[in-house]
Structure 1
Amino acid sequence: MLITIIAGARPNFMKIAPIIHAIQKAKDKSENIDYRLVHTGQHYDKKMSGDFFDQLEIPAPHTNLESGGGSQAEQTAKIMLAFEKELINNPTDLVLVVGDVTSTMACAITAQKQQVKVAHVEAGIRSGDWSMPEEINRLLTDSITNYFFTTSDLANNNLKSSGVKDNQLFFVGNTMIDTLLKQRPNFKKPEVWDELSLNEKEYLVMTLHRPANVDEETKLKELMDEIVNNTNDLPLIFPVHPRTAKILKKLGIMHPRLHMVEPLSYLEFNYLVGRAKAVITDSGGITEEASILNVPCMTLRDNTERPETIELGTNELLGTDPKAIQPAMQKLFNGEWKECQEIPMWDGKCAERIIDEILKIKF
């Protein structure tokens, strides 16, 4: 059995790394299974060097479709054209997609057009917000998927309500947490730690990237002012995308405690998160990691596709109103923030469960 595994952006590789490890483990037990790793090239990331794959303990992709750039429609078309040729030249039994990026949707559609079955890892999560490209990608991917690997009972229910049958559903957990738990002993101290003489629980980490937060300049300035004014005397470490940094510079957003640094590697970023007083973010994946690391997390969004991080984790949804910052910070500094409870199946064994189920499928 050959599985073609798709990754389109750096976070996808954190999700597929444990799946590759589980396949290798099954092969060592003489199971008839192998994989081909396809990087669509959706996102170019200069940090994805050989060291990146070494850190995740996976080989470099078998091929890179180099389909990045352009509008979302152009990118979708480029990925589909390139992946169609890939499937013709390298026939496979199953295409496995993860997450909710454009590559996830584009490769799922292309596989079905080539009459190849599709498995979706992290299926069934929903924000209900159709203004997010990721939500459209999830809905389209799940509408044509054959096998659904889910992170929660809620995801199962979302899929069942859309007509997915029980025998297509596999509640397995979260591969992102597999990687987090495996790599936790390897977290790497970034240079900024010593440069700023940081101490554990005496700084905050923040990330902002969603257009609703960073493209509306007035709102961005209000958000940053509220964050700076309500974080006492703690340093704010902000790994910032160059595009966002340009907007912040244009707005004149500067403060002695606000430290805008280059984007960090996975191991460096989670070293900071795991030791932070709290995390302020608009990223879904970071809410998962912060919860498992038991670090208070404030999400600057009006919705989330990961409600388990709120119900059982350390995450709280503040919305996008800058005035929500002050009471949340007061709660944090009063020591009243919740701690993470056990999240079912988020135990580091998700990928093994996925491969165990795939091996039972008759192709």
Structure 2
Amino acid sequence: MESKLLILAPYPTSENNKDGMISRVKAIDTLFENIPRTYLYVSLRSFIKAKKYSDGIVEVNSLNLLIHFRTILKLIYSHQHIYSHSIYMLTFLWLFISKKQTSMTLDLHGVVPEEEKYFGKTKIRAVYYDFIETQIFKRLTNAICVTDAMKAHYQNKYKWFTGTFLTYSIIPDNLQIIDKETVKFVKEQNNKKIHVIYSGGAQSWQNIDLMMQIIRNNQSPEIYYTILTGDKKIFEDKIKNNKINPELITVVSRNPSDLWKDYIAADYAFILRDENIVNRVACPTKLVEYLFYGLIPVVLSEEIGDYKKLGYDYFKMEIFSQIKKPMSVNENNINIAKKIIKVNQSTNLAQFILKS
């Protein structure tokens, strides 16, 4: 069958499945699993030699913008529908997409111009992405937002947009329903200590140094910390530099499918996001995981996505030292995660995109 859907993103594989963005790409891909589709990932510097292969009914292309320009244009113009994972995937390609010829859906993932403003290395990138975001919205058929807060942000920013907004949350594909007896057994095995985890990378916006300061100031035989990360060396160095007792903390890299084992053993989980527009509209993958397994997040700002509106339970980091005992599974947070998942499941996204 001929591919009518072009997806702008790296194709999800076992090699890149720990990347946060790929988690979203993979989750969306499963919705199109019976539909022939083509992946296109374009770079200005990489893929001097084109990387092309097939995976069942999926065609995968990793191409260099300059060297394979004609092939890229051919792929764009030969597809009826384009699904782009974030504005970043359209950095070079937005110029070649016409609303008259192609239906285009943008999965926003985040607020890119604002991300560049707060976390980028140069102001010019923020200005550029703000410009191309406007140009992209002029070409868009659908804008997929990960939270209602994000949808409200873009509805206010682009009041003239005539396309369709849809909220479709980021739900990790590694969530597993664990029977209550297993959870109860694990909790009983770990009820002599407070167990606190962090799951994620060492990026600056994760406020890792602040987290290390909190751990350093709350070292106790009664508390055990686990860092789940692909950046083991960075965390090991920070633990050493902060003079944190290595007997009270473990740094480990896990396959996403095994994270549940650490989550059901834990009581609390760090997610120290700053108070800004980037985080107010976000849907962090790890926060969904924390809630799904009944953990209580320890936050710097509680204003993360739609979660405060939904009534999630959390601890402010300022009162972390007041935590004195392990917690039972937090049913309220589990129910919030289930509610978000149910909203996603009630949406036929593939039909929505391909009928646009």
Measured against the shorter chain, the TM-score band is 0.5 to 0.7
1:175–1:348: 8 Å Cα contact kept in structure 2? no
The offset of 1:233, in angstroms, is: 1.6
Find the counterpart in structure 1 of residue 105 from structure 2: 119
The offset of 1:296, in angstroms, is: 1.0
SS in 2 for 1:357: helix
Following superposition of structure 1 onto structure 2, how do residues 1-363 of structure 1 map, counting pairs within 5 Å?
1-7=4-10, 10-25=19-34, 27=35, 34-38=36-40, 62-65=60-63, 87-91=72-76, 92-98=79-85, 104-115=86-97, 118-122=104-108, 130-133=117-120, 142-143=133-134, 144-145=136-137, 146=140, 147-164=142-159, 168-177=163-172, 179-181=173-175, 183-184=176-177, 199=190, 203-207=195-199, 209-211=202-204, 219=210, 221-229=212-220, 233-240=222-229, 241=231, 242-261=233-252, 263-282=253-272, 284-300=284-300, 302=301, 306-312=304-310, 314=312, 316=314, 318=316, 323-327=318-322, 329-330=323-324, 333=326, 339-340=332-333, 341-342=335-336, 345-347=340-342, 349=344, 353-361=348-356
Task: From the CA coordinates, give the structure whose radius of gyration is larger.
Answer: 2
Q: Name the aligned partner's letter for residue 37 of structure 1.
A: Y
1:148–1:170: 8 Å Cα contact kept in structure 2? yes
Cα gap change, 1:211/1:155 in structure 2, threshold over 3 Å: closer, same or farther? Answer: closer
Find the counterpart in structure 2 of residue 50 from structure 1: none
Deviations 1:11-65 (A, max 9, x none): 223212232222234x4xxxxxx322345699xxxxxxxxxxxxxx999972345
Q: Gaps spanning 5+ residues in structure 2: where?
A: 45-54, 274-283
Q: Gaps spanning 5+ residues in structure 1: where?
A: 28-33, 43-56, 66-78, 99-103
Counterparts of 2:343 and 2:202, CA distance in 1: 28
Find the counterpart in structure 2 of residue 68 from structure 1: none
Cα gap change, 1:312/1:227 in structure 2, threshold over 3 Å: closer, same or farther? Answer: farther
Find the counterpart in structure 1 of residue 278 from structure 2: none
Find the counterpart in structure 1 of residue 50 from structure 2: none
Deviations 1:87-143 (A, max 9, x none): 235333443233xxxxx3332232211125642224566997732349959866753
SS in 2 for 1:206: strand
Q: Name the aligned partner's letter for residue 149 of structure 1.
A: I
Counterparts of 1:317 and 1:169, CA distance in 2: 37
Counterparts of 2:332 and 2:106, CA distance in 1: 30
1:97–1:107: 8 Å Cα contact kept in structure 2? yes
Cα gap change, 1:227/1:109 in structure 2, threshold over 3 Å: closer, same or farther? Answer: same
Cα gap change, 1:171/1:161 in structure 2, threshold over 3 Å: closer, same or farther? Answer: same
Find the counterpart in structure 2 of residue 69 from structure 1: none
1:298–1:318: 8 Å Cα contact kept in structure 2? yes
Counterparts of 1:185 and 1:58, CA distance in 2: 31
Q: Name the aligned partner's letter for residue 256 of structure 1.
A: E
Counterparts of 1:311 and 1:127, CA distance in 2: 25
Q: Name the aligned partner's letter for residue 18 of structure 1.
A: A
Deviations 1:177-219 (A, max 9, x none): 5x245x5469xx9xxxx9xx96489632124623266675xx5
SS in 1 for 2:251: strand
The offset of 1:342, in angstroms, is: 3.8
The offset of 1:326, in angstroms, is: 1.6
SS in 1 for 2:257: helix
Counterparts of 2:345 and 2:161, CA distance in 1: 19
Counterparts of 1:225 and 1:58, CA distance in 2: 50
Query: Percent identical across equivalent pairs?
Result: 8
The offset of 1:264, in angstroms, is: 1.3
Counterparts of 1:244 and 1:59, CA distance in 2: 40
Find the counterpart in structure 2 of residue 30 from structure 1: none
